Chains A and B, each alone.
Chain A
């Protein structure tokens, strides 16, 4: 039964398992005395706006959605807070890979070439690596051609399919390099998408952080605090939550931190990626 004390979380349905995960967490929270419900969104932009309007109290945000929320909050003179994240959300890196034995042996060799990326709104497979290459003096779509693999735009790259398509394009010779997150490079190597020795990493970005639970200060503070306590108290030893943690890809929840989003913030500033959206939502919520 939903009451006015029910804490409502928003999450993006990038995969059917999202229902299993949040149904499971809902049961856990209610067993521990927290009235909890969740709403699934088809894209992060809808979720960001729902948090700004107060329709939801907590958003399970991608790094891009976090920055969108933070910038909207700034315009509304509110304060966005990242209260919690996965242990696996910290210190990720993206890589630029090329075919082993090919002509491209360094970032400089990409000039005039074609580089495959993930979805347009993917921080890890598009925005951060393109920003990184720009910092190395290679401006996307000027110094090299960008070949995007848009899978489920609006999901901010949560779906692995775009990166898999990008590396397949690399193996086929449709491009000269591909951008992806380090964990997917390992997954593709282990599953055989990338045969052993088929690609070489020519660049690695500095570490950055990924998802977080975002709140706007002021709403449901006691419930939010309890929610955070319960997350941080979850143990991988507990078989009931272990299956949910495995599905969500973490071993433990850790306190949120915001210093790991500088690289992505620089990317969206440079590419002007979110300004129109941020301005429009701020106007609607003012």
Chain B
């Protein structure tokens, strides 16, 4: 095997050609290297020594060339290397139930050198995090990303009565803190997830990015006509704190995505319908579309998780009871938010309209309950269990 570097210096890329020739050379066959770069012999000698290759410089009539025999180190480095599953999740056994921590950050399907460091990803069981449909869900989420700057008609002209505008600001303030919880929870778990479950990692990351956009558009809508946000209550934050503090992925995912965001879906579509201006309507519609995906993933992976571990239903039920107990003495949904929802549904201070608005919010609460119960039944809970759990869900909605 012979390689001619011509005028190319070894340190300017000549090394690539030499390495390529060494890879291609049959075992026990040397490679001769020719070249006119001034320091070729010096660099080749130093490089071969560091790489464990045998090196000789042969002088011939005033010119010289190198003779290199590949050493065993390059092959030894990859002895014991492991293929970390398969990149395509649809290939049989591509995604392992319990991937080793030593695969670390390597892409699924990469060849991982033996001796790589042990990581400490706590979420390392496929049955606890995976959904067969997760790759499709991620692709759908990636395709559905929207630009807050252009997706909302920020320049639309409207002028609301002052108290209606105040009600909008209060609802937006409430939505912002709830969406902040919905950002923090997946963001925390994505750092604990074994990257072998790449599509789940990507989906959780895009979920957090969704919430970042929601926070942006809700804030921008609140400040469109006002200089300050509205009220944040201790009871509302106490309810959200139970989500942020929940250390178990399955429980947190259940409380946040299935019960919380599921309930929020009803709320956001209600606001989209009741909105007195096109900007409020648009931000709620865009957020609702994203939340629907979050609910779908929560449902999908929990359904598979519960099929594998049916006893987890009892754990989830107890988590709902425990959360209810811990929030028993808090106010739940703040009165200002409830009143604002009624006013928005009413559209005016007229007594008849207020009565209608109140009825609409009561209907919303019923729809939220029905939606939660339907999803719980879909997860395999009994009718009585679903009824109890939905009834115990936080009055703060999320």
Binding site for B on A (CB under 8 A): 87-88, 90-93, 95, 181-183, 185-186, 189-190, 196-197, 200-201, 204, 235-237, 239-240, 242-243, 249, 251-252
Contact = CB atoms under 8 A, between A and B. Distances in A.
Contacts of B27: none
Interface residues of B, number: 26
Contacts of A237: 76, 79-80
Query: Is chain A's interface secondary structure helix, strand, loop, or mixed overall?
Result: mixed
B9 A197 contact: yes
Contacts of A242: 76-77, 115
A181 B77 CA distance: 27
A98 to B, nearest CB: 11
A93 B45 contact: yes
Nearest to B114: A239
A186 B11 contact: yes
B28 interface: no
Given A200-B38, A201-B38, A242-B115, A186 B46 contact: yes
B223 to A, nearest CB: 49
Contact of B46 (A183, A197, A243, A252): A183
B71 interface: yes
Contact of B77 (A88, A95, A236, A252): A236
B146 interface: no
Nearest to B113: A239
A257 to B, nearest CB: 15
28 contacts: A87-B52, A88-B50, A90-B49, A91-B49, A93-B42, A93-B45, A95-B42, A185-B42, A185-B43, A185-B46, A186-B10, A186-B47, A189-B9, A196-B9, A196-B11, A236-B77, A237-B76, A237-B80, A239-B80, A240-B115, A242-B77, A243-B115, A249-B50, A251-B51, A251-B52, A251-B71, A251-B72, A252-B52
Contacts of B105: none
Nearest to A87: B52
Contacts of B73: 236, 251-252
Nearest to B47: A186
Interface of B: 9-12, 38-39, 41-43, 45-47, 49-52, 71-73, 76-77, 79-80, 113-115
B85 to A, nearest CB: 20
Contacts of B9: 189, 196-197
Question: Most chain-B Cβ atoms within 10 A of its Cβ — which of A91, A181, A239?
Answer: A239
A189 B80 contact: no
Contacts of A196: 9, 11-12
Nearest to A243: B115
Please give me the 4 A-B residue pairs with the lowest Cβ-Cβ distance, nearest first. Answer: A239-B115, A251-B52, A189-B11, A239-B114
A247 B113 CA distance: 16
A190 B45 CA distance: 15
Nearest to A86: B49
Contacts of B77: 236, 242
A167 to B, nearest CB: 13
B42 A201 contact: yes
A108 B113 CA distance: 50
A88 B47 CA distance: 10
A251 B76 CA distance: 10
A186 B79 CA distance: 28
A95 B9 CA distance: 17
Given A200-B38, A236-B73, A190 B11 contact: yes
